[in-house]
Structure 1
């Protein structure tokens, strides 16, 4: 993102803003961290370098749902690394405190790169236009001008998201298989209670954010994205047994690796 303004770059370095207000909800089984392990951790922190982690520059908060189950909604805290002008990657947590659980990953690409994907690959990706324009996707702690500059770079991108720890379903360990996630594309889809709780906790006025972004240039969504809107449910399944994160017309999954049914 070479064209980001100096003000935006400076704002993105304010990592303390908009954090430590969303702890994870599910407990983790296991004994408390021992003094010895804490000492090893502290020593490693001082001695070892972590370039991929240190490259994370941006914190985004939004919402996902399971492909094939729009009622399976959850808040997702994204910590984003910019790889180049057209590709970003994010690690996703269920909170923004130091004990948050790593829920999954999201890859974010430009319109141009998405448009060049094969048709079957496009079905795995979702658009970000509505998330940005509606104000449901936010960058907590950023000043309004920096937020708008950042969102102008995200509004026309596409994301592919896999969740590996389904903490919204009260799983205390990363059980089961990865799930393909989707993003919301229109009014009335996101649970208003979920949004209101996020806004209360983070002191965000989503309607005001939406108004601030009204003039962002959002392009029409390219064909192939948001496959769930066309009734195509795609999820992984076990080699033996049923899938875990969606449902087909008959209540069971078919196919070797992917599941397709109606929303």
Structure 2
């Protein structure tokens, strides 16, 4: 099968598959007032949103906290293709209107990943297993478009930071960002999470795995998935009481995960 250029592929990425995964937490606060609703409606009608309009794909997969493989959650990615080598995604804890923004993921090609400094490579995870296993899906896409998209993603690498830990009953974005990783082998992902996702989207991960058997993946570039070698990187407070207090707070990689 011919692999379409990303610019052309984005034209195919129009489908359904949303509005079936509610947010994990309810943010505290008073109901939206009529005046604020009027402002929202007016802004929606009058203001342009080029960065938001550029989002062209929806991917659903799973992450875990770097250094804590039991800290697993579903992640809804809304992806913008910047060019042939770089994509970026905003990540939510659901796909409904009130979904909470959990974090971001930057996705780069194998070619670019190979150019990164050794210490930088440790922050990134591979996507080979996620694609081949069927745990990463593009809800609503026709089979042909899904297959073409997954071919483009299979050998890419992602760097993911979560800023709102809604899987841990954090009803506000408290704590510090956490570096996330992707699964690399069978038996790592909680089967209950996968089964629940498959049921909501009416998909069969085993069938998807079989359909992607012909997708060629390359050996993982050394440096990625550093957690597999016991190299855990997370932020932790060193001094001071606030993440943004200039001259008072510093961050350093933690030798072991400090849960948010």
Given the two structures, how large is their TM-score scaled by the length of structure 2?
A: 0.91
SS at match of 2:170: coil
2:258 is the counterpart of 1:260: no
* Distance across 2 between alignment mates of 1:155 and 1:199: 20
2:21 is the counterpart of 1:22: yes
Contact 1:127 1:225 in 2 (8 A): yes
Number of aligned residue pairs: 247
Contact 1:13 1:57 in 2 (8 A): yes
Contact 1:161 1:182 in 2 (8 A): yes
Contact 1:4 1:149 in 2 (8 A): no
SS at match of 1:41: helix
Unaligned regions of 5+ residues in structure 2, if any?
242-249
* Distance across 1 between alignment mates of 2:70 and 2:97: 28
* Distance across 2 between alignment mates of 1:88 and 1:4: 10
Match of 2:209 in 1: 210
SS at match of 2:252: coil
Match of 1:105 in 2: 104
Q: How many Å apart are 1:178 and its aligned residue?
A: 0.2
Match of 2:39 in 1: 40
* Distance across 2 between alignment mates of 1:121 and 1:231: 16
Match of 2:229 in 1: 230
**1:150-189 alignment runs, 5 A limit:** 150-189=149-188
1:4-37, Cα deviation, whole Å (9 max, x unpaired):
596x5443133xx000000102111110111110
Match of 2:65 in 1: 66
Runs of 4+ in 1 over 4 A off after TM superposition: none
Q: How many Å apart are 1:207 and its aligned residue?
A: 0.4
Given the two structures, how large is their TM-score scaled by the length of structure 1?
A: 0.90
**1:239-250 alignment runs, 5 A limit:** 239-240=238-239
SS at match of 2:82: strand
Contact 2:61 2:136 in 1 (8 A): yes
Unaligned regions of 5+ residues in structure 1, if any?
243-254
